Every structure is written in C-alpha cells, then in structure tokens.
Amino acid sequence: MSTSTVNISAAQVKELREKTGAPMMDCKQALTEAKGDFEQAIILLRKKGVSVAAKKASRATGEGSVASYIHAGGKIGVLVEVNCESDYVARTDDFKELVHDIAMHIAASDPKFIRKEDVTSEAYEREKDIYRAQAAATGKPPQVVEKIVEGKMSKFYEEVCLYEQPFIKDQTLSISQLIATKIGKLGENIAVKRFARFKVGDSGETVAVSKPQRAE
C-alpha cells in the first residue's frame, strides 16, 4: 500500500508558531513528521526544546533581566531575575515576555523554591515524615508505604518548585518546559536566578535563590 505525502500549509505552520513560539522551519518539520497532527507536532517541538535546553544547561548566564509584577489590586507583588547568555537576547520581545510570564506565574502560584535541587533538607524531610505517617496510619505494609511516599513527594515538588509547576496560562506545560521552548527558539541558556514574592498581611515574604548548576 502506498503512502501519500501530507501537504503542510503555510497557515498550519503559522498557527503552530503562534502557539509554541518555535521557529518557522522547526514548526514545518514537526508538522511534517507528525503528518499534520497539530497536537503531536506540539509534543515533538517540546521534546526538541527540552533536548536543546539540556545541551545548553552548563553554559554561563551572565546577562538577563529583572521584572516586577503587581497582582490583585496591589495585594501581591513579585520581583524575579531571569538570566540568559547575552544582552542581545535579554532585549528581545520573546525574552521579555518570558520574564513577565514567570513573574505573573509566581504571583499566582506561590512557589517556595525554584528547582527540586533547591528544596532544603529540612523541608524535604518534614514533608516526607508527614506523608510516611499518613500512609502508615492506613495499616499498609512498609514497602507500600514507601511507594505512596514517593508519589506524594512528586506531587510536593510540583506544588512548591517553580520549574515543576504547570504554567498558569497553559496547564499542559510546566515552567521548565516553557523555559526550554524559549531556549530552543533563542538559542541561549536561560535560567531563573531568584525571586521574591510579597503578599499584604503575610508575616514575611517568600524569597528563593537557585543553587549554582554544576557544569557537565
């Protein structure tokens, strides 16, 4: 049986680019590989972005931008520093949009840490002990309890770590994946360095600083 070639229109490529922000040629290639399946093409582009991001992860990020975001009638405020490799990229609309989106996300989702690696041992052990006690109270055997705890800790990371949280503007995309797509498009390593979140009435602000990433 012969297979017919799927014709990818310029309109399809344009729509995918608007959705993902990926370069036009990458969008066309993804649509072709996905045989016109839009959702599959998005998955392919995300995988490519993550792959590119992994290759650039050890590259120094000495430039970037600090952005602020005020939300909820002035009741919540965020300052965030996002780094990249060059001043040229820091001045692009794509990078500025990313920094703004991350600041807005922090205001809405209230992360406590940036990455999994930034979670303090005290916070990690405290949550693990709570989950272990809860699971043990059900009377399940120790090996089952540990599996339950592992699952709970994965959810814990998603709740408190910025990079693990679903992006508020697209719940199918984590912040880590959002950053990876921009790395793939802009061609530079990008990383959140630190942020502070303030809320009127809270006893203290949330301040998070990323640990230095070890070069491979």
Same domain for 108 and 46: no
**Domain count for the chain:** 3
| Per-residue pLDDT tens over the stretch 176-195 | 989 988 888 888 899 999 99
Same domain, 170 and 115: yes
DSSP string covering 1-47: ---PPPPPPHHHHHHHHHHH---HHHHHHHHHHTTT-HHHHHHHHHH
Q: Based on the domain organization, do 91 and 167 belong to the same domain?
A: yes
pLDDT band at 78 (very low <50, low <70, confident <90, very high): very high
What is the per-residue pLDDT for 70? 95
Neighbouring CB atoms inside 10 A of 1's CB total 2
Binned at pLDDT 50, 70 and 90, residue 3 comes out as: very low
Where does residue 186 rank: exposed (0-12), middle (13-18), buried (19+ CB within 10 A)? Answer: buried
Write the pLDDT tens digit of every residue in 141-175: 888 888 888 888 888 999 999 999 999 999 988 99
In angstroms, rounded to a whole number, what is the distance separating the alpha carbons of residues 12 and 195?
Answer: 37
Please identify, among 56, 75, 100, the residue that sits at the C-terminal boundary of a domain: 56
Give yes or no: residues 29 and 115 share one domain: no
Domain boundary among 56, 82, 101: 56
Q: What percent of the chain has pLDDT over 90?
A: 42
Structure tokens at 206: 């949330």
**Which has the closest alpha carbon to 116: 163, 84, 152?**
163
Predicted local confidence at residue 23, as pLDDT? 72
Q: Are residues 114 and 176 in the same domain?
A: yes
Residue 6 confidence class, pLDDT cut points 50, 70, 90: confident
Q: In terms of pLDDT, which residue wins out, 91 or 72?
A: 91
Q: Per residue in 21-69, pLDDT tens? A: 677 788 888 888 888 888 888 888 777 765 666 666 667 678 999 999 9
Verify that 2 and 81 share a domain, yes or no. Answer: no
Q: At what angle do helices 175-186 and 38-56 cross, to 10 degrees?
A: 80
What pLDDT sits at residue 216?
A: 42
In this prediction, residues 61-88 reach a mean pLDDT of 92
| Domain housing 16 | 1-56
Would you place residue 202 in the very low, low, confident or very high pLDDT band (cuts 50, 70, 90)?
confident
Give the DSSP H/E element, type plus range, for residue 91: none
For residue 61, what pLDDT is reported?
A: 74
CATH number at residue 141: 1.10.286
